Chain A
Amino acid sequence: MEIVVCVKQVPATAEVDLVVDDSGRGIESQGLVQEMNEWDEYAIEEALLIKERLGGTVTAITMGGEGVDAVLRRCLAKGADNAIWLKDEAFEGSDAYATAKVLHAAIRGLEYDLVFTGAQSGDDNYSAVGGILAELLGLAHAQMVKKVEVGEGTLVVNRELEGGLEETLELPMPALLAIQTGLNEPRYVSIMGIRKARKKEITVKGLGDLGLTGGEVGEAGSWMKVQRVYAPPVEKEPEILTGSPEEVAGRLVEVFRSRGLI
C-alpha cells in the first residue's frame, strides 16, 4: 500500500495573543510556536497504521518556506519512509486552490493507492485542499473521514456528519481521504525515531521541478486575494468578573442564587 500524506505546519494560536502584521494582510509570526496541523497528526497516524498492517510506504509531503521541514522530520520520526518539501518563494500566498495545484504537480508522478490530507487546517481553515486535489488527480474522495477499512481495491470509510451521526461509503482505490480528528491515537515521537529521521533525506522541489509557472501558484494562481486581516468585532461584551478566585466564585454564586440555579 503506497500512501501519500499531505501535512502542514501551522502556528499554535490557543492562549496566544495574535497581532496583525504591518501589511495588514497577515499575522505577526515572530514568537509564535509552530506545530503540526492537528488534523494531519491523525492523517499521518492512519497512514502509518495501514502501512503496519498491510506493508508499503508512507510519503509525507508539505509546502512552505524555511523551517517547515520540521513537520516532515516529525513524520519521518513517526515512521514515514519518504519526505518531499515543496519549497519556492513563488508558493507564498497560495490559497487552497493554488496549494492544491502545487500538491497535484508533486503527487501526479508518484505511485500511490491512497492520498491523505487533514480535513482542515488550524490556520486558514479552508477544508478545501483535499477535495480540490482529489478532483485534480481524478480520484474518488471523502471528506471528514472517521474510519478507514482497506479492502481489495476498495475502501469502506465512515464520514462524520452532524449530531454524532456518521455515514458509511464505499469507494474505489486509488482515493483521497481528508481525515477528521479522533479516528486514532496519534503516536508520540520517540528519541530513537528522531535519531533515525535525522539521517533520512528530504527531497526538495521548486516551481521549475514541478513544471509549474509563477502565474499558477501563490497569490497570482489563487482564487482568493486577501485584503485585510483583523481581530473579529466583539458581538457581545460579557461582564468580566475580576478579583481573587474566591471573590469571583462568590460573585458567581450570587448570580446562580438570584436565578434559582442553586
Chain B
Amino acid sequence: MRTLDEYPALDLLESRGIPAAARELADSEEAAVAAAARIGYPVVFKISAPSALHKTEIGGVAVGIRDEAEARAAYRGILERAAAAGIVRMSGLRGVLVQEMVKGGVEFILGGYRDPGFGPVVMVGLGGIFTELLKEAAFRLAPVDEAEARRMVLETRARVLAGGFRGAPPLDLGPLCSAIAELSRMMSESEEIAEFDVNPFVLTPSGGRALDALFKYR
C-alpha cells in the first residue's frame, strides 16, 4: 500500500485548496534555523520521512521552539532519535519539517475510507484528546457539499463551540466545511485513495489549517 506521509500530504491538500500550516522542509540544521526565522518563532519541528508515520512515538516532534538555540538543539535531538529508530538518509529521511506553531483554536479530525458496502465515506469529529474521549464522529457517504458537511459538524459536540462556548466568540465553521467537502470529492473522484486522515485540522479565529495528514492508496 502506497502512502503519502505528512510532507507530501499537506502539499496535496494545498493543491486542492485546503489550507495547511506554513511549513518548510529543512535538510540541514542551518536550513532548519533559516526556515524557522522565515516562518517566525515559535515553531514546531517534525521528523520527515515516508516511513515515519508515528512521529511522536519515536521522539520525532519538538513543539514550542522559541529561538535559534532551541532550534539547533531540537534539530540534533530529533535526528539522533530518528537514527536510533532506524530512520536515516538511506532509508528515506528527508530532514525536519519546520512548521508554524498554531496556538489555541479547536482541533478536528477529518477522515475517509472505503467501506465494502458503502464505498467512499467521510467523517469528522473533535480532535486531540476528544477523539479518544468522546468516540464521537459524524459519517456521510462521499461526496458531500459544504451544507451537508456543516450538518455533519453540527451533529457532533462541536455544535456547542459553533455557538460560542463559555464566552468564546462563535466558531466560524466555513473553512472546516469546505475542507470536508473537498476531501469527500477527492475520495469519490479517485478510486485510488484507500483512506486518509487529516489530524488535526485546526480552526482559529483567523481561519482553518491542516497541521498533519496521511493518505493511503490502494
Do the two chains bind? Answer: no
